[in-house]
A = this chain, B = another copy of it.
Amino acid sequence: MAGGAGTRFWPLSRRRLPKQLLPLNGTRTMVAETAARVSGIVPTENVMAVTGSLLRKPIAAALPGVPARNILCEPVGRNTAACVAWAAIEIHRREPDAVMVVLPADHIVDPIDRFVTDVCHALALADSRRCLVTFGIQPDAPATGYGYLQAGPPLPDALPGSGACKVDAFLEKPDLARAKELIAAPGCYWNSGMFAWRADVVLEEFARHLPDLLAALREMDGRRKRGRIPQATVDAAYPGLPSISIDKGVLERSDRVAMIPAGFRWSDIGGWNAVAELWPADANGNRSRDPLVAVDAAGNVVATRGKPVALLGVQDLAIVDSGDALLVCRRDLAEEVRRVVAELEPAGLGRLL
């Protein structure tokens, strides 16, 4: 899943350069990191990316070895259910017995070997029990930006050591008080938005819970000419699709959901605060990968593409220089960068979107 506009990383992220195309955690783009992470399990020619039409070229460039026909381009975003259903149709057409793992292209996981082990468990479980497998993340903070999972009883015949269990409930993003209760409760996990399932099984569940969505995509898929769906057909079909998440549209309604508790750390790096955790900090908690001189300054996050920065007397700021634009914001407002992004066009700065 490599769509998403990524305004929270403006000015580094743009319409044509969203988060998944930024090297936020090293030198490779997030989407390339995501593909590399499963390279031991999924042959490159079987990697499929669903992204926006604007991003076909940069996503293809970020995923060398991935066949062009594996890059599905949505003319408009219609949330994750449409994205997953289209990919499942495409995968199932090629390989009716396929098991697929669904990964957002802009998450961080660590360590990779634990992640790979859990994905292997999930694929085996999804294949053998024909269930929808989610990854539950052990919370380490009362996050209000994530949905939560309430784990149910263990699956008795699951792989030893996988910890697989049923899911009793999906919980919406909570407020802070509720989040504090949740992380104190046993069996409560973050919903990571990563999944594993057989293509045929998830399509059965789409048929049951989102039949219109599935029918519209099957109709679109049926209009292939010489093996591919004409762009005009996609452009005509997509805007009419219901916009709903796979979580709400399928998982919350299905009775076939299982969970594997993740043995890895995870972040969806939703903003600069989360990114900063990945970067080196000085003695005063200033985090930067760029040259930094900080005097009486603490808790700041700096990203300037190599430009040296001097701070004097400032606390808890996020400072981001993309070369053609500069953002200075309070770190506790860093998830609200869309508020300044919304002002760009009215200010005659639409070129920076």
Q: Tell me the A residues contacting B by CB distance below 8 Å.
A: 10-11, 291-293, 295-296, 304, 307-314, 317, 319, 321, 324-330, 332-333, 336-337, 339-341, 343-344, 347-349, 352
Compute how far the CA of A291 lies from the CA of B344 in the bound complex, rounded to whole angstroms: 10
Compute how far the CA of A352 lies from the CA of B10 in the bound complex, rounded to whole angstroms: 27
Compute how far the CA of A292 lies from the CA of B347 in the bound complex, rounded to whole angstroms: 8
Listed A/B pairs (23) with beta-carbon separation below 8 Å: A291-B347, A291-B348, A291-B349, A293-B340, A293-B347, A293-B349, A295-B339, A295-B340, A296-B333, A304-B326, A307-B324, A309-B326, A310-B325, A310-B340, A310-B344, A312-B329, A312-B330, A312-B333, A313-B330, A314-B329, A319-B328, A321-B321, A321-B326
Residues of B within 8 A of A307 (CB): 324-326
The closest CB in chain B to the CB of A290 belongs to: B326
Residues of B within 8 A of A344 (CB): 293, 310
Contact check, A349 vs B308: say whether CB atoms are below 8 A apart.
yes
Per a CB cutoff under 8 Å, which of B313, B339, B352 touches A312? B339
Compute how far the CA of A326 lies from the CA of B294 in the bound complex, rounded to whole angstroms: 12
A16 to chain B, nearest CB (A): 17
Contact check, A326 vs B319: say whether CB atoms are below 8 A apart.
yes
Residues of B within 8 A of A325 (CB): 307-310
Residues of B within 8 A of A333 (CB): 296, 312-313
